[in-house]
Chain A
């Protein structure tokens, strides 16, 4: 093979690599994709995709929005970060650590709910948070569970080094893990929490997210540039979302049953999970949460937690090197590097009936 041949082959393969490596460039376009994964507060995404409500709103604005379900939550965020999707369902903490931490300017389009008991620290047997000292705790490391544990320990003056350690355990195997003798305590989320608590009389909930209300937010986040270039995308998604919210608020049994079945439970089980979730059925309530004066404090605490755990990357100079912008224009962290924006515009439009 001559040098020339090698070179042309190299250029060819490079071109191939380039075509798959191209991040989604922001520009005016008509076809959008958003990803979601199964969680009580995100079940409406599946429903609005299947019921045709999304298509109805997309047609109204002359675009298409495809809703894709992921079985793996982290992978859905990674795919969004890599540019394969225009939006993804994620918590405020994971949005800050993955897309924003990777330099993808991301906007929280919809604040769907906050966890109000859906995440819990569970001890096997009697005891209190103080009794966790010297024990090992099973959880999905670096997830909101880990954050919840840190907040819980903090509330009784302990910190992670006081534990025997944390053991990273896949959420898929959490129920089986609880049944083994090695596990003394764990932190997880619903529907796993209710599954464990219902089936194990010795399961003792020490601390749950209802004790830190408004800190673990479930969002729909979208690429900031895509949204800026395509306001129709934001309008269609917000319109479809709040149509489903009004159906849920009205207690439409068909809608709730469809979501319950999609999440692998029945209507009663789903209602129990919803009870531990503070859903913002009313767009005005979501606007109020996004504009809450406590949100900057929460986000700063989260950023410090992420920095402390090394999640913001070894290259992160400090906990506040990522700027976060709030609806009133205030910024926490580095103003020159704003990568996460809470934008109430589209939720406000929904509240005003302007969609």
Chain B
């Protein structure tokens, strides 16, 4: 039997899925043991039970100085910034994508501009963003928007262009105006793509969020990570990293479920 035709059975598929996690865990534990044997106070690779007790403290015990549970405060602040940034980006890219995809005039004037804009590295422009938008919440949200809107727009306008011409001609023969074509023909086909797009852009959005929080902030997941890095509290950093991964995974799952329920005709991918 050819290798490409060998499909694992359900139990072995589950086992195969756990192997990479298992290997990573073993590698970590061994590395941690070796370092801790050399120096019991080593902070670089804390033992799993140290991370466990740190995680318990971070999630449930209030900070002894501010009397607040910092992790939840950080999570709340970061999620608000992230959802505002991603939400606004999704709205802008949806509108721009439709306009560029449907209207040749808009395409001529905007499409190369957006393509070139999507190549600009936003992090290099941080000082300008600070001076225009200040050091508060706005500049963090704006960084996410500048970071992800251009490529979302490019992708969505391409998807609109991919709509078969036959559909557009058919709609016109039965008297649909440009607006009706946009709302009734293009929009329903683009919405599932928008969700897929948001899912793909979440990784970059987190990156920009954490970068913005590292630069100037007093609350947030990225802020805390960069703050405790100053005294190498890897137990705190690893807890936060795992937590961010869980959050990102949960958000992704929610979006996938929404996409599947709302647009059953569109096969949800990976």
**Chain A residues in the interface with B (C-beta under 8 A):** 1, 6, 9-10, 13-14, 16-18, 20-23, 25, 74, 78, 81-82, 97-98, 101-104, 138, 141-143, 165-170, 172-173, 175-177, 179-183, 310-314
Segment 6-56 of B: residues with Cβ below 8 Å from A: 15-16, 19, 22-24, 26-28, 30-32, 34-35, 38-45, 54
- Nearest B-chain residue to A136, judged by Cβ: B218
Interface residues, chain B, with chain A CB atoms under 8 Å away: 15-16, 19, 22-24, 26-28, 30-32, 34-35, 38-45, 54, 57, 64-65, 126-127, 130-131, 134-136, 214-218, 223, 226-227, 229-233
B135 and A165 contacting across the interface, CB-CB below 8 Å: no
Q: Which residues of B contact A14 (CB under 8 A)?
A: 26-27, 30-31
6 A-B interface contacts by CB (under 8 A): A13-B27, A17-B28, A22-B34, A97-B230, A143-B230, A180-B130
Find chain A residues with CB under 8 A from B42 CB.
23, 102-103
B130 touches A103 (CB 8 A): no
Are B218 and A81 closer than 8 Å at their CB atoms? no
Given A22-B34, A168-B216, A180 and B135 touching (CB < 8 A)? yes
With A13-B23, A173-B215 known to touch, is A25 a contact of B135 (CB < 8 Å)?
no
A179-B131 contact, Cβ under 8 Å, with A13-B23, A21-B31, A310-B65: yes
Report the 10 A-B pairs with minimum CB-CB distance, sorted nearest first: A103-B41, A21-B31, A176-B127, A17-B27, A14-B30, A17-B31, A169-B216, A102-B43, A182-B135, A13-B27
Beta-carbon contact of A17 and B30 below 8 Å: yes
- Cβ contact within 8 Å between B130 and A167: no
- Give Cα distance in the complex from A1 to B226, angstroms: 41
Minimum Cβ distance to chain A for residue B77 (Å): 13
CB distance from B233 to the nearest CB of A (A): 7
Within the assembled complex, what's the spacing in Å between the Cα atoms of A13 and B44?
Answer: 19
The closest CB in chain A to the CB of B133 belongs to A180
CA distance A312 to B43 in the complex (A): 12
Closest to B41 in A: A103
By a CB distance below 8 angstroms, the chain B residues around A1 are 15-16, 19
- With a CB–CB cut-off of 8 A, which chain A residues contact B226? 168
20 additional A-B pairs beyond A180-B130, A311-B230, beta carbons within 8 Å, are A1-B19, A9-B23, A10-B22, A13-B24, A17-B28, A18-B30, A18-B34, A23-B42, A81-B44, A101-B231, A102-B44, A103-B40, A103-B41, A141-B230, A142-B227, A170-B216, A173-B216, A176-B127, A312-B231, A313-B43
Tell me, rounded to whole Å, the shortest Cβ–Cβ distance linking B151 to chain A.
25
Chain A: minimal CB distance from B23 (Å): 5
The A/B interface has a contact count, at CB < 8 Å, of 131
* A311 engages B231 (CB within 8 Å): yes
Instruction: Identify which of A82, A169, A172, A180 contacts B44 (C-beta below 8 A).
Output: A82
Q: Which of B43, B136, B230 contacts A74 (CB 8 A)?
A: B230
- Which residue of A has the minimal Cβ distance to B213? A168
The reply to whether A167 and B218 form a contact with Cβ atoms under 8 Å apart is yes
Query: Do residues A181 and B134 form an inter-chain contact, with CB atoms below 8 A?
Result: yes
Residues of chain B contacted by A98 (CB below 8 angstroms): 230-232
> Once bound together, how far apart are the Cα atoms of A142 and B236, in whole Å?
16
Known: A74-B230, A313-B231. A25 touches B216 (CB 8 A): no
CA distance A101 to B43 in the complex (A): 9
Measured between beta carbons, the chain A residues less than 8 angstroms from B135 are 138, 167, 169, 177, 180, 182-183
Instruction: Given A10-B22, A23-B35, A102-B41, verify A78-B229 contact (CB < 8 Å).
Output: yes
User: Considering the chains assembled together, what is the distance between the CA atoms of A254 and B148 in angstroms?
Assistant: 49
Contact yes or no, B217 A21, CB < 8 A? no
B24, B28, B134, B227: the one contacting A141 at CB < 8 Å is B227
Out of B26, B35, B136, which one reaches A10, CB within 8 Å?
B26
Contact partner of B136 (CB less than 8 A), chosen from A17, A182, A312, is: A182
Q: Which residue of A lies closest to B19 (CB)?
A: A6
Within 8 Å by CB of B39, from A103, A180, A313, lies A103
In the bound complex, residues from chain B placing their C-beta under 8 Å from that of A311 are 230-231
Given the complex, which residues of A lie within 8 Å of B45, measured CB to CB?
A: 21
Interface centre among B35, B39, B41 (most CB of A within 10 A): B41
Also in contact, A180 and B231, with CB within 8 A (given A9-B23, A13-B27, A167-B217):
no
